[in-house]
Amino acid sequence: MTLSLYISGDTTARALGADALVAVLEVQAAAADVPLNIIRSGSRGAFWLEPMLEMDWQGKRIGIGELMASDAEGLLATLLDNPESHPNYLGEVAELPWFANQHRLTFARAGEGDPIDLNTYRALGGLQGLERALSLTPDAVVEEITDSGLRGRGGAAFPAGIKWRTVLGAEADQKYIVCNADEGDSGTFADRLLMESDPFQLLEGMAIAGIAVGATQGYIYLRSEYPRAQLMLNEAIDAARLAGVLGERVLGSDKSFDIEVRLGAGAYICGEETALLDSLEGKRGMVRAKPPLPALEGLFGKPTVVNNVLTLAAASTVLAEGAAAYQAHGTGRSRGTLTVQLAGNIARGGLIEVPYGISLREIVFDWGGGTRSGRPVRAIQVGGPLGAYLPEAQWDLPLDYEAFAQAGAMLGHGGVVVFDDTIDMAAQARFAMAFCVAESCGKCTPCRMGSIRGVEVIDKLVANPADTAQKILLEDLCDTMEHGSLCAMGGLTPSPVRSALRYFPEDFGLAAEAS
């Protein structure tokens, strides 16, 4: 009998040694003349356990984690004989508290099977959303999205239903669905994981969007740093076309929809939707002034839905399970689930999908297990490089867009980066400005010129903390950037700077402000 094993083929697992593990197992199988089938599933996102091996054992899907090729002597024999005897045996994967306490909708299939096998996708409940969408009127599909409360997962959290409604209502000979897969925030990897572990879900979500708004062409704008995702997407697109899921008659309907993957060229700003559209059009990626909204004049001037990978993927869940089911998760105006990506100095890093409303402290300590260095956590940056640094006083904030906004922070794309007590927050503030220097598109003055002056002013301030004029200038500069910038790049760069200055003044050599 053939032995079937699941080992992730995603970028992180491979970086941690999954390919070597596969090679060792294949050598052992050949030597023992054991028929072996290794399925390169996608990762489930528990990167702290990768490389992880899974197999069906006595009716359960069990796992063995942190399995390095160097420690794999006699591994095959153990697996054949009694995997439970392996020192790294994890038991039933789904029962691990790290997974069991999550609430996986979007990432439910991640790690289950071959990501580019359409039959597996169907068997795991895929395409139900698309089938349902095809049975509804476009208006009803948009209504479902609106009722689900789904908001954009790229960071701005704009209600997807309103955006889709606008595109649906726009008169045009051509409309587009554009997937923003230029995942550039520090500490984020959810989009990549989805594209590598469950690419069909994204294609399905885009097809639903296309059917909803009347678009026949979709583009995935993928950052060039994701070659594996590119491969998986293209193979999935080929398979979907072959099976009639994409193309002229989607699932035998009279609707057509096709998708093409386009690569970025390494610019963070091209994750901003209008710069992305410029880049997709073959131009230099420059932020466009709004209006016109991309929903009305987007790609090549045509009405365009621009949504993040996770937003589009969630659309398939909404359609498959119904707006009410999706809407039942979450809190306040933040409905559904949030995909948190735990990174930085963290003991158990990886992807956690939970309903909105859980606190940051639960995420970092219950799931993350505190710092990897074992030192105390000092600051947590949420929402990418433009997100605020949060001190302990704010770790009980519920993960909710409005609650974070009220605290001068943002959830963004769900990236959580943890720092221990060795961090120099003045250096982090300087880095925020320096990041903006490197990544500004250069169009608007506050961002183009303000960022470099920001670096200079912080240097002067740190060199001479007694120079209060520099602190006032830095605060004024932050105001100018926040109020004056054309897009969120320059507008939000002050956020990490201000939070560092406010919560960690001692790192700048300043006394704490009397509150």
**Tokens of residue 369, six digits:** 């297990």
Can you say whether the dihedral through the CA atoms of 419, 420, 422, 425 is positive or negative?
positive
Binding mask 125-154 for another protein (x = CB under 8 A): ------------------------------
Cα separation, 45 vs 160, whole angstroms: 26
Closest distance between another protein and the C-beta of residue 42, in Å? 34
* 159 touches another protein by CB under 8 A: no
Question: What are phi and psi for residue 254, nearest 5 degrees?
Answer: -95, 10
* 174 touches another protein by CB under 8 A: no
Which of 514, 344, 343 lies closest to 423 in space, CA to CA? 344
| Segment interacting with another protein, rule: CB under 8 A, options 102-110, 152-160, 186-194, 476-484 | 476-484
Cα angle value 293/299/305 (rounded, 5°): 60
Query: In the complex with another protein, which residue's Cβ is closer, 141 or 444?
Result: 444
Binder of another protein out of 88, 256, 359, 445 (CB under 8 A): 445
Binder of another protein out of 251, 263, 347, 452 (CB under 8 A): 452
Closest distance between another protein and the C-beta of residue 301, in Å? 10
* 375 touches another protein by CB under 8 A: no
* 449 touches another protein by CB under 8 A: yes
Query: In the complex with another protein, which residue's Cβ is closer, 124 or 449?
Result: 449
* 439 touches another protein by CB under 8 A: yes
Task: Give the binding-site size for another protein (rule: CB under 8 A).
Answer: 37
* 308 touches another protein by CB under 8 A: no
Query: In the complex with another protein, which residue's Cβ is closer, 255 or 443?
Result: 443
* DSSP assignment of 55-94: EEETTEEEEE-S--GGG-TTHHHHHHH-GGGSTTEEEEGG
Spatial contact of 353 and 310, defined as CB atoms under 8 Å apart = no
Closest distance between another protein and the C-beta of residue 473, in Å? 5
Query: In the complex with another protein, which residue's Cβ is closer, 88 or 445?
Result: 445
* 483 touches another protein by CB under 8 A: yes
The strand pairing partners of 179, in sequence order, are 220, 307
* 281 touches another protein by CB under 8 A: no
State the number of CA atoms in the 13 A half-sphere of 202 facing the CB.
37
Query: In the complex with another protein, which residue's Cβ is closer, 113 or 285?
Result: 285
Which of 258, 287, 291 lies closest to 270 in space, CA to CA? 287
* 160 touches another protein by CB under 8 A: no
* 290 touches another protein by CB under 8 A: yes
Spatial contact of 190 and 339, defined as CB atoms under 8 Å apart = yes
Query: Distances from the Cα of 100 to the Cαs of 94, 106, 364, in angstroms?
Result: 6, 15, 17
Spatial contact of 49 and 43, defined as CB atoms under 8 Å apart = no
Query: Distances from the Cα of 385 to the Cαs of 186, 291, 361, in angstroms?
Result: 6, 26, 20
| Segment interacting with another protein, rule: CB under 8 A, options 253-261, 305-313, 404-412, 469-477 | 469-477
| Segment interacting with another protein, rule: CB under 8 A, options 63-71, 155-163, 392-400, 452-460 | 452-460
Cα separation, 173 vs 298, whole angstroms: 13
Can you say whether the dihedral through the CA atoms of 258, 261, 262, 267 is positive or negative?
positive
Binder of another protein out of 60, 249, 284, 333 (CB under 8 A): 284
Binder of another protein out of 116, 267, 306, 343 (CB under 8 A): 267
* 436 touches another protein by CB under 8 A: yes
**Tokens of residue 10, six digits:** 């995603």
Binding mask 380-419 for another protein (x = CB under 8 A): ----------------------------------------
Closest distance between another protein and the C-beta of residue 438, in Å? 6
Which of 69, 32, 31, 33 lies closest to 50 in space, CA to CA? 69
Query: In the complex with another protein, which residue's Cβ is closer, 143 or 402?
Result: 402
Closest distance between another protein and the C-beta of residue 305, in Å? 22
Binder of another protein out of 194, 296, 444, 492 (CB under 8 A): 444
* 333 touches another protein by CB under 8 A: no
* 494 touches another protein by CB under 8 A: no
Edge-first strand listing for the sheet containing 60-64? 36-39, 3-7, 53-57, 60-64, 89-92
Question: What are phi and psi for residue 43, nearest 5 degrees?
Answer: -75, 150
* 453 touches another protein by CB under 8 A: yes
Residues in CB range of 392: below 8 A, 6 or more apart: 377
Q: Applying CB under 8 A, which residues contact another protein?
A: 267, 269, 284, 286, 289-291, 436-453, 456-457, 469, 473, 476-477, 479-480, 483-486
